[in-house]
Structure 1
Amino acid sequence: MATSPPDSPRSFRQLSGPQRKAFLAAWLGYLLDGFDFILITLILTEIAADFQLDLTKAATLVSAAFVSRWLGGLVLGAIGDRFGRKPAMILAILAFSIGSGLCGFAWDYWSLFVFRAVVGLGMAGEYGSSATYVMESWPSSMRNRATGFLLSAYPIGTVLAALAYEVVVPQLGWRWLFYVGIVPIALTLYLRRALPEAAEWKAEVEGREDVTTSSVLFTARRRLPNAALAVLLSTALVFVFTGTGGAATPYLIAVTVLCLAAFAVQVAGRLWPVMIAIMLTVFCAFLYSWPIQSLLPTYLKTDLGYDAGQVSHALTWAGLGYAAGSCLAGVLGDRLGTRRAYVLGLFVSLAFVFPVFALPAGNIVLLWVLLFVMQATSQGISGLLPKYIGDHFPTRLRAAGLGFSYNVGALGGAVAPLAGAAIAEDIGSLGTALTVLAGSLTVVVALIIGLDLPARIGRALGADSGAPAFLPRERKPASESSGA
């Protein structure tokens, strides 16, 4: 991977006009992505009442978008590797906008499940394409900041969604909140006309039809078998995450794992163990973060008895903490190294998980402060995750490698609300369930990243892919030499 020249920019002010424009466009796209994706968590109780669902069944609607994310990450990532980061980003925004609008027309549980799956396709593609687009448009010395600042857009989107919930739902009902999600389509017209393609992709990949992910996945020999594999995998995931698999669920999980491994082998070749290690890392990261992301509104309304306005304010402060933490993570990542900053943030976050869910009702201001700091350290530090993952793939495979491994790992987000709800039913406290999941899995992720397990596996396999994570330490970019 190309490194920055000695006189390359070191701050946002020093970036060129096209580099700033690339960041702003990707940031806006990801903000709107966060707005559309989080809507379901805000109105879960209203939907449950309307469709007569219990909490566990309603929580599977959060999982619906995760069921399809692996496919969005793989297909839109392959498009990004073959045709460029910009067209993949445009397609992703169209997908999550259309899916969100359709959710407003849902007539029952299954229709809403399908429409949320469409949102998941776009969400997955937006994450991978936006992250690679910004990273490959910025100098390597600033790429932790590129991803950290980019991911700050997602919580700002959730804050806007919370404010919209407070204004729209009491007056017009939950369906209108989804109709608003169609707005991002307008952004695609600007993206299509105004943006340059990512410089690094143009320099290293453009015009080389034989070296991208699409040339591996969509050849004439593999096209039909991979389509059949995708149908089988999607069917298994739907049965698993809707709870309709019954006694066959363990076998369906086994089928899911085998199908995902088959795609990983095709995308990563002999480095498939590295990709699977990254998937497991992300899976655990979602298990510590998404129970809080998905069930915090429910916890505030049911366990603490807060009204819509109080919930909106609490989520606003949580989202602002997430955004501030993402920006801070980017700065620390470029100074300390990606892994070192990531692990530091995770361990600091443990000091705030228990106080948040031990706080009794009535301490709303203190709750805002604790949520801000907890999300700044636990969720905000995940602003480094695209950079961490992307360093394990060369430019020609980065969009699909990042998109697929991240979004397969994101199935942890599908498991998270189900696990949180199930544990809460067993122990009788949603707050305690969220504390247990967040605390224990944070330690697991910190150990995996701190010990550098995926890269250790790659070096043990003799990886020579040109990806930064596998380069000898003396050849790594300066921003990575201190722990990334």
Structure 2
Amino acid sequence: MLIGSFVAYMFDALEILLLSFALPVIRADLGLTTTQGGLLATATLLGIGVSSLTAGWFADNYGRKRALMVSLAVFGVFTAAIVVVPSFTMFVLLRFLAGMGLGGVWGVVSTYVVETWPAAQRGRAVAFVLSSFPIGGVVAALLSGALLPDWRLLFFIGGVGVVIPLVLVGVFFRESAEWAEQKTTPVKAAEIFAPELRKRTSLGAVVAGLAMFGAWGASTWLPTYLQADKGIPAATVAMFLTVLNLGMFVGYNVFGLIADRIGRKNALVLSLAGVAVTLPLYVVAADRTALLWLGPLFAFFAAYAGIFGAYLGELFPTRVRTTGAGFCYNIGRGVSAFAPLTLGALAAGAGLGAGLLVCAGFMACAAIAMTFLPDLRGATTVRAPSVRG
């Protein structure tokens, strides 16, 4: 079911990234300030953060397949509804509600692969599935290039398209046998904070929060930065970002192999540190040729999300795997909700370039924090927390 998981997460990425491509047009059409534009992205990520516990809890109690289908349906409906959005306030609300669905997909597909693939190949398998994120970015860029400035139609087509992964999951997915075999008593979300898991949960959320703050701050404003600060036309920006996302796709899969070879932890440190070094080079690049080549290089190292899928899944026992992994990753996304808004405010005074450099600093901090988490090579998965009736 790698292909089905790949397509499901590709649409998750597509829905998230459409806003980045459409944001310059939306701001002009609705007369939004930079801060208001950032609030649209913030609302999406806040919805993802809120779903960090609910989606994982649902998957651990009611199954991976059912949770994935509910998540897909929720973000598809609320994304398509933007076609008739009457006001900025309603736009913010719809993005928040779509985020509630978007937050569930990463944890479920990551957990599903962790539970169905052997440990020796797990890194590359999860990385392949999650490498659909940059492919979703390519599709978003192509759709944006074809449909903008009609941003309402863009969101409608993106939302309706979710029917494709829904059919794939509904028809071809089988429930995780590992989940079905171990399910006995209902899972409580608080179990991921049991003494034997508390440190892993807390540190995992910190690393993801630092990384996601930097990632979403950069990805939200990068198209605007290329247009406003570098003077690149919108059509050319779409091409630049397509090349960038192809570099990210290659990076995900190469780092999946690296993770299986040197361990998920070491691969994560390398990936995060690589972004911290290459993103500033991209920001200070003076001409379009340099931007065209440095973009894929910086994106190549931005493979941490793919490795997180395998690492965080192995960090928790089967009983609370989706709850724990989803909490860490999506709390990170929730924290990153403030990145677009914060960087939008920073851009008003210091420029978007300065904001992107701040994002690189967050990546460096994430790499350092990652060193405090365990290296799971050859380790037995931590035991499930004791359950009290």
The TM-score normalised by the length of structure 1 is 0.75
Give 3-state SS (helix, strand or coil) of 1:304's partner.
Answer: coil
- Contact 2:264-2:310 within 8 A present in 1 as well: yes
Q: Which of the numbers 369, 391, 403 marks the counterpart of 2:293?
A: 369
Residue of structure 2 equivalent to 1:54: 33
Residue of structure 2 equivalent to 1:276: 202
- Contact 1:343-1:450 within 8 A present in 2 as well: yes
Residue of structure 2 equivalent to 1:388: 311
Alignment of 1:200 with 2:178, yes or no, is yes
Q: Quick one: distance in 1 between partners of 2:239 and 2:211?
A: 26
Q: Quick one: distance in 1 between partners of 2:230 and 2:52?
A: 37
Residue of structure 2 equivalent to 1:28: 7
Displacement after TM superposition at 1:475 (Å):
4.5
Q: Which of the numbers 412, 424, 433 marks the counterpart of 2:355?
A: 433
Deviations 1:56-84 (A, max 9, x none): 11111001111111332322212211121
Residue of structure 2 equivalent to 1:346: 272
Give 3-state SS (helix, strand or coil) of 1:43's partner.
Answer: helix
Q: Quick one: distance in 2 between partners of 1:192 and 1:57?
A: 38
Q: Quick one: distance in 2 between partners of 1:186 and 1:196?
A: 17
Q: Quick one: distance in 2 between partners of 1:201 and 1:343?
A: 30
Alignment of 1:319 with 2:245, yes or no, is yes
Kindly provide the amino acid, as one letter, of the partner of residue 194 in structure 2: G
Q: Quick one: distance in 2 between partners of 1:338 and 1:40?
A: 31
- Contact 1:65-1:118 within 8 A present in 2 as well: yes
Q: Quick one: distance in 2 between partners of 1:347 and 1:24?
A: 30
Alignment of 1:449 with 2:380, yes or no, is no
Give 3-state SS (helix, strand or coil) of 1:410's partner.
Answer: helix
Unaligned 5+ residue runs, structure 2?
A: 382-389
Report the identity percentage.
Answer: 28
Deviations 1:83-107 (A, max 9, x none): 2111111111111111110122211
Change beyond 3 A, Cα 1:431–1:151: same
Alignment of 1:174 with 2:176, yes or no, is no
Kindly provide the amino acid, as one letter, of the partner of residue 90 in structure 2: S
Q: Which of the numbers 336, 354, 358 marks the counterpart of 1:413?
A: 336
Q: Quick one: distance in 1 between partners of 2:275 and 2:141?
A: 23
Change beyond 3 A, Cα 1:404–1:349: closer
Q: Which of the numbers 256, 274, 282 marks the counterpart of 1:356?
A: 282
- Contact 1:325-1:381 within 8 A present in 2 as well: no
Matched pairs, number: 379
Give 3-state SS (helix, strand or coil) of 1:68's partner.
Answer: helix
Give 3-state SS (helix, strand or coil) of 1:391's partner.
Answer: helix
- Contact 2:34-2:345 within 8 A present in 1 as well: no
Residue of structure 2 equivalent to 1:153: 132
Deviations 1:157-181 (A, max 9, x none): 01111111111114xx111100111
Displacement after TM superposition at 1:266 (Å):
5.2
Change beyond 3 A, Cα 1:475–1:434: closer
Kindly provide the amino acid, as one letter, of the partner of residue 200 in structure 2: V
Change beyond 3 A, Cα 1:350–1:70: closer
Displacement after TM superposition at 1:474 (Å):
6.0
Q: Which of the numbers 167, 172, 186 marks the counterpart of 2:164?
A: 186
Q: Quick one: distance in 1 between partners of 2:169 and 2:72?
A: 10
Displacement after TM superposition at 1:146 (Å):
1.9
Residue of structure 2 equivalent to 1:424: 347
Displacement after TM superposition at 1:347 (Å):
2.4
RMSD: 1.8
- Contact 1:321-1:380 within 8 A present in 2 as well: no
The TM-score normalised by the length of structure 2 is 0.92
Deviations 1:21-58 (A, max 9, x none): x1110000001111111111111122112222101111
Displacement after TM superposition at 1:273 (Å):
4.2
Residue of structure 2 equivalent to 1:307: 233
Change beyond 3 A, Cα 1:475–1:59: closer
Kindly provide the amino acid, as one letter, of the partner of residue 269 in structure 1: A
Displacement after TM superposition at 1:364 (Å):
2.6
Q: Quick one: distance in 1 between partners of 2:164 and 2:264?
A: 35
Give 3-state SS (helix, strand or coil) of 2:85's partner.
Answer: coil
Q: Quick one: distance in 1 between partners of 2:26 and 2:192?
A: 39
- Contact 1:134-1:198 within 8 A present in 2 as well: no
Q: Quick one: distance in 2 between partners of 1:343 and 1:200?
A: 30
Alignment of 1:81 with 2:60, yes or no, is yes
Instruction: Tell me: higher relative CO, structure 1 or 2? Use CA pairs within 8 A at least 6 residues apart.
Output: 2
